[in-house]
């Protein structure tokens, strides 16, 4: 299979980076995301994992991928896939504006070092590493830091085929 690439963007800030799909390490997850593209939703900055931005989507795969190529210590440029039930995200501590229903997919970009996927409510939260940023991470990391300091309101995280 030829290498596949996607563009990840913060639309309001007009910043984008390019990521290579890790088809050899997470084939089911890559297929699920690729088939669902383009995707975009409100962006959030992580509270627990540290240097992470993410967007939440209703489940889009016919069947959720298994935990392939898992990590609890993502590195800069990792794209991770998480699956949660709406009740797992339904507590006020998460601060989402609306109740999450059914299965929720969290697509995340990690932009700096020293991340640890542990949550005070549930413990370890392994993610599937399905992509790696290969171009534009420095500029994206600056925008992510601005999102952390300046706020995420009105910003969209988008994924589309490159």
**Distance between CA atoms of residues 159 and 162, nearest Å:** 9
CB 78 within 8 A of CB 71: yes
DSSP calls for 93-125: GG--SS---SEEEEEEEE-SS----EETTTEE-
Residue pair 43/111 in contact (Cβ under 8 Å)? The answer is no
Q: Which whole number is the average pLDDT over 37-54?
A: 94
Average pLDDT of the residues in 43-67: 94
> What's the confidence (pLDDT) of residue 8?
98
Question: Which pLDDT score is estimated for 92?
Answer: 61
**Beta carbons of 119 and 125 less than 8 angstroms apart:** yes
For residue 158, is pLDDT > 80?
Answer: yes
Distance (Å, whole) CA 141 – CA 95: 23
Residue showing tokens 């593209």:
37
pLDDT per residue as tens digits for the range 126-144? 999 999 999 999 999 999 9
């Amino acid at each position: 299979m030829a290498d596949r690439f996607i563009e990840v963007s913060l639309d309001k800030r007009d910043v984008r980076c390019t990521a290579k799909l890790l088809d050899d390490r997470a084939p089911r997850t890559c297929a699920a995301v690729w088939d669902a593209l383009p995707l975009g939703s409100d962006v959030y900055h992580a509270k627990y994992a540290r240097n992470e931005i993410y967007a939440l989507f209703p489940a889009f795969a016919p069947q959720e991928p298994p935990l392939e190529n898992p990590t609890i210590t993502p590195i800069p440029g990792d794209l991770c896939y998480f699956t949660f039930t709406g009740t797992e995200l339904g507590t006020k501590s998460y601060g989402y504006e609306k109740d999450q229903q059914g299965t929720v997919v969290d697509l995340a970009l990690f932009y700096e070092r020293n991340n640890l996927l542990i949550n005070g409510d549930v413990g370890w939260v392994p993610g599937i590493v399905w992509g790696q940023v290969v171009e534009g991470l420095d500029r994206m990391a600056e925008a992510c830091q601005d999102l952390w300091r300046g706020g995420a309101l009105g910003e969209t995280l988008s994924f589309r085929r490159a």
